[in-house]
């Protein structure tokens, strides 16, 4: 195939990655470029959004992940880009100012290290031949050697490896070839070690992703595992991708899941992202997250609201006296609003919601839990 034909096939296959599906604003969702390639939005430190050029290096996979439509043995068109093709196409996009960085992933081409060599080769070409100093996110292939992982980290701005499930028993339902401890946990721990505080590559961010609903995990297990990734391994972000029913093997739990509708699956993903914010931004402990009797999040209500309803002793919160930690327990108040309240309080007493510039449904939610004096 010619390069453009390959990119068309690999862009089509990237539809199975639903990262950013839960964005709340128009600029937060992935979108196709005019030539059919997927472009992914990323928040910039100075504000606003730009997009990443994202592609698979190959969809010719040697692994047997039962949730993945590209697993070995399935009948799909296969192709592989060379490192030079990826670098050349990315630099053309960059010159046209269509993107600001690269997100490069791949199926497993025969072995993890052979795949990592090709992924790392793209980054080497960009860094050395093209002198690109911008953002590069590289996927670490499960089972990759320590040396391959360390090289990827030395070339990248960010690295990621999908944890897939919270624990060995769930993982074994989805793959016979991969070993959870050897191929998933070992490289995740190494990534954490090499990018830890005071280390040479501490600037590199580590992320991971759960494939939610492909196995038989509960939300409680995901939340406990997520807490460990943040507290124990100091990962930068945890992402979630709802399993898309009908794409995997008929014998996996995701095909018989109690969440049979796409809406239910995406809402579960959305609730997990809300929990992620509670743990990362709002000061919640994983043990505080409200769950039903089966260990799952309720789909019909925000977990922060459920916590508030279960703790009437905390409310109403006095807007003019509460510290930041308490303000963040108020449904409708996030980190930005809490900072705004603390700043305005230093200047004058906050006598009503008009002092905060909050309107609509969020204001009505806040009113239930606060006192304006």
The pLDDT tens digits for 167-213 are: 999 999 999 999 999 999 999 999 999 999 999 999 999 999 999 99
Question: Taking the model in full, what pTM does it have?
Answer: 0.88
pLDDT digits (tens, 9 = 90+) for 104-132: 999 999 999 999 999 999 999 999 999 99
For strands 38-43 and 31-32, give the pairing.
antiparallel
133 burial type by CB count under 10 A (0-12 exposed, 13-18 middle, 19+ buried): exposed
Report how far apart, in Å, the C-alpha atoms of 165 and of each of 169, 194, 216, 241, 246 are: 9, 23, 9, 11, 19
pLDDT digits (tens, 9 = 90+) for 93-107: 899 888 889 989 999
Question: Measured between alpha carbons, how far is 174 from 178 in angstroms, rounded to an integer?
Answer: 9
**For the domain bounded by 3-282, which CATH number is listed?**
3.20.20.70
pLDDT of 315 higher than 50: yes
pLDDT of 350 higher than 50: yes
Backbone angles phi, psi at 159, to 5 degrees: -135, 155
Beta pairing partners, 137: 103, 158
pLDDT of 86 higher than 50: yes
Q: What's the chain's average pLDDT?
A: 88
- Largest Cα separation within the chain, whole Å, is 70
Instruction: Domain ranges for the chain, please list them.
Output: 3-282, 311-371
């Amino acid at each position: 195939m010619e390069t453009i034909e390959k990119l068309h096939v690999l862009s089509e296959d990237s539809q199975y990655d639903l990262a950013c599906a839960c964005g709340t604003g128009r600029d937060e969702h992935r979108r196709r470029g005019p030539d059919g390639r997927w472009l992914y939005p990323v928040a910039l430190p100075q504000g606003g959004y730009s997009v990443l050029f994202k592609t698979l290096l190959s969809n010719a996979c040697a692994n047997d992940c039962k949730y993945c439509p590209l697993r070995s043995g399935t009948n799909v068109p296969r192709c592989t880009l060379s490192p030079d093709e990826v670098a050349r196409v990315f630099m053309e996009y960059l010159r046209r100012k269509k993107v600001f960085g690269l997100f490069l992933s791949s199926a497993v081409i025969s072995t993890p290290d052979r795949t990592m060599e090709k992924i790392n080769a793209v980054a080497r070409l960009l860094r050395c031949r093209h002198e690109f100093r911008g953002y590069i996110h590289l996927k670490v292939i499960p089972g990759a050697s320590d040396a391959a992982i360390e090289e990827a980290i030395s070339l990248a701005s960010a690295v990621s490896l999908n944890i897939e499930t919270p624990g060995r028993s769930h993982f074994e339902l989805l793959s016979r070839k991969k070993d959870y401890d050897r191929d998933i946990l070992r490289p995740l721990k190494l990534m954490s070690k090499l990018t830890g505080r005071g280390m040479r590559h501490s600037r590199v961010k580590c992320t991971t992703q759960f494939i939610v609903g492909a196995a038989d995990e509960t939300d409680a297990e995901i939340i406990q595992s997520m807490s460990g990734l943040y507290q124990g391994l100091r990962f930068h972000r945890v992402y979630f991708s709802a399993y898309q029913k009908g794409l995997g093997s008929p014998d996996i739990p995701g095909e018989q899941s109690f969440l049979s509708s796409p809406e239910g699956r995406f809402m579960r993903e959305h609730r997990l992202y809300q929990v992620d914010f509670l743990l990362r931004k709002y000061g919640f402990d994983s043990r505080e997250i409200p769950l039903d009797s089966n260990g799952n999040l309720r789909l019909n209500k925000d977990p922060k609201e459920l916590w508030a309803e279960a703790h009437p002793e905390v409310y109403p919160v006095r807007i003019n006296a509460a510290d930041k930690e308490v303000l963040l327990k108020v449904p409708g108040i996030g980190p930005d609003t809490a900072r705004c309240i603390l700043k305005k309080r230093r200047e004058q007493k906050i006598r009503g919601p008009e002092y905060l510039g909050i309107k609509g449904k969020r204001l009505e939610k806040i009113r239930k839990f606060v006192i304006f004096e």
